[in-house]
Amino acid sequence: MSGINQIQMSFSPSEDRILMRMNTTDSTSFQFWLTRRYVKLLWPVLLSMLVKDEKITAQQSDQAKQEVLSFQHQEAAQKMNYSREYQADTQQQPLGSEPILLGRIGANEREDGTQVLSMHPETGQGVELALNQTLLHSVCKLLQDTVEKTDWDINLAQSLSTSNPAHDIAPRAIN
């Protein structure tokens, strides 16, 4: 089974979309377009996945949960390697050479506790990403940094306030 080797996100002003590229340890690559609408749907799903960490759920107060989340986020950001160029010379592109426009999102948890993020177009194949906490925080950081370069007026703050809809998102598909 292959794992994620690299993830890159960049904003394309002419497309008004974020291009997300991934390659795996077995030289497979995937490319996806994330629209403003998709990002607004994706963010609460990512937050709901983050808050399932037992170090967060063990905290009694929202403030303590937020502090643990912030600490984990900073720790993961420090582990990210920004110095290595994205390796675009992969051999396999099972979903094709053109980026796929994403339209559906799902999140679930395997029996072993692994979080799985499903990202699919409206019809057709997408990917199922098994994400540990470090990788999940890294995806969140990449998305935050990329959205800051857009003119979308979206604030992707990580907040665990009780008014945050991320608490209420069940592991289901969002269309």
Spatial CB neighbours of 5, under 8 Å, sequence gap ≥ 6? 23, 24, 25, 87
Q: Lowest mean pLDDT of 1-10, 19-28, 100-109, name the range.
A: 1-10
DSSP letter (8 states) at residue 89: -
Segment (H or E) for 56: helix 54-57
Kindly tell me if the per-residue pLDDT of 71 is higher than 90. no
Task: Tell me what the mean pLDDT of segment 16-22 comes to.
Answer: 96
Q: What is the pTM of this model?
A: 0.81
Could you tell me which residues are beta bridge partners of residue 8?
Answer: 21
